[in-house]
Amino acid sequence: MKAIDLTDEERIDWLRLIRSDNIGPRTFKSLLRNFGNARAALDALPMLARRGGATRPIRVWPRADAEREIETARQLGAKFIGSAEAAYPHRLAAIDDAPPLIVARGDLAALSRPMIAIVGSRNASAAGLKFAERLARQLGEAGFMIASGLARGIDAAAHRASLGTGSIAVLAGGHDRIYPEYHADLLDALLADGAAISEMPFGWEPRAQDFPRRNRLISGLSLGVVIVEAAKRSGSLITARFALEQGREVFAVPGSPIDPRAEGANGLLKQGATLVTEAADVISVLEPILGQHEPMSTREPDNEEPTFAGEPDTDVRARIVALLGPAPVGLDDLVRLSNSTPAMVRIVLLELELAGRVERHAGGLFALA
């Protein structure tokens, strides 16, 4: 994927498109592919949703709101960066559901440097905190940016220890809604040599479901993820799962089986995560892949026809709807079973998504919503 620069107008269009109803990162990508640019997609949204069977008009994000958000960002010293732009972290750009736009504050050059995530328990032990600090410091000194989630416990320890070398905070809410609030100072401190990013709008208070969603960005930014202390069913394990799905390295720090805080990390080790007791354990795995190009590619190739396939006839749409159910199925199967063309099936799926009737899953799969 070659980097392009968005014009101010395009940036507004991109922001309006991703903030509109029923549009996630994957749908955004599909719309761009089908309509060539965000403006054309925006124009088509009402018609597509209507044809998909929307019961009420789709809410297209107002231009004024987008302009206001970009102005708010400017005042806060933050920037919107599109996934097609050179300043966008290139590993993050490669994940299936990369946010089309991120808002970034701080030293934006830090986002282009090799990154390692360190995440773990909020209720960490003294040993866990001490180790997270030591590891973050050593990896920082070795030239890696440290990414984490600004939570208390392991996250904060990792950020603090990498303030001087470069620390990246990935937020679950808007840049003006720091969580937890008492880490606002820590966030300010890390902006000098690091950065903070968010995909959420200004003013967005992070809800419970925003944290797992945010975790895919922590792993997506990074060459690998180090889990320092993690209980069973913790957010850190979600980050580890994302890392695996995204083809990132997973590292875990061992702990006593007597300590419940070590259960998650020990479990990852049993599943084959690399055991870490010192920075060298991480570096020796990551160094060989540092020079490599991002191994993951977006699942749908760039060289498909970008042109709008025209309106599908009612017959085709009905056949595709009939084929869909609660279990996710792939585009290829839908093409084959509906006896239609890929372009036609994609448009029907877009219509249904925008109408809120279909959900797009990882791996190019679709299911009824």
The string of DSSP codes covering 111-164 is: GGS-EEEEE--SS--HHHHHHHHHHHHHHHHTT-EEEE---TTHHHHHHHHTTT
Cβ atoms 119, 155 nearer than 8 A? yes
Instruction: Give the angle subtended at the CA of 291 by the CAs of 197 and 252, to the nearest 5°.
Output: 60
Could you say whether residue 275 binds a second copy (CB under 8 A)? yes
Cβ atoms 174, 197 nearer than 8 A? no
Which position among 34, 219, 246, 266 is part of the footprint of a second copy (CB under 8 A)? 266
Could you say whether residue 128 binds a second copy (CB under 8 A)? yes
| Furthest CA-CA distance within the chain | 64
Which position among 61, 80, 88, 131 is part of the footprint of a second copy (CB under 8 A)? 131
Which position among 269, 286, 343, 348 is part of the footprint of a second copy (CB under 8 A)? 269
Which of 279, 33, 64, 29 has the alpha carbon at shortest distance from 158? 279
Per-residue DSSP letter, 41: H
Stretch of 74-82, 126-134, 293-301, 323-331 contacting a second copy, by CB under 8 A: 126-134
Which position among 270, 288, 301, 339 is part of the footprint of a second copy (CB under 8 A)? 270
Interface map 29-68 toward a second copy (x if CB under 8 A): ----------------------------------------
Cβ atoms 115, 108 nearer than 8 A? no
Nearest distance from C-beta of residue 123 to a second copy, angstroms = 15
Could you say whether residue 257 binds a second copy (CB under 8 A)? yes
How many other C-beta atoms lie within 10 A of the C-beta of residue 309? 17
Could you say whether residue 253 binds a second copy (CB under 8 A)? yes
Could you say whether residue 232 binds a second copy (CB under 8 A)? no
How many other C-beta atoms lie within 10 A of the C-beta of residue 324? 20
Which position among 237, 262, 347, 348 is part of the footprint of a second copy (CB under 8 A)? 262
Could you say whether residue 245 binds a second copy (CB under 8 A)? no
| Contact footprint for a second copy (CB under 8 A) | 125, 127-128, 130-131, 253-259, 262-263, 266, 269-270, 275-278, 281
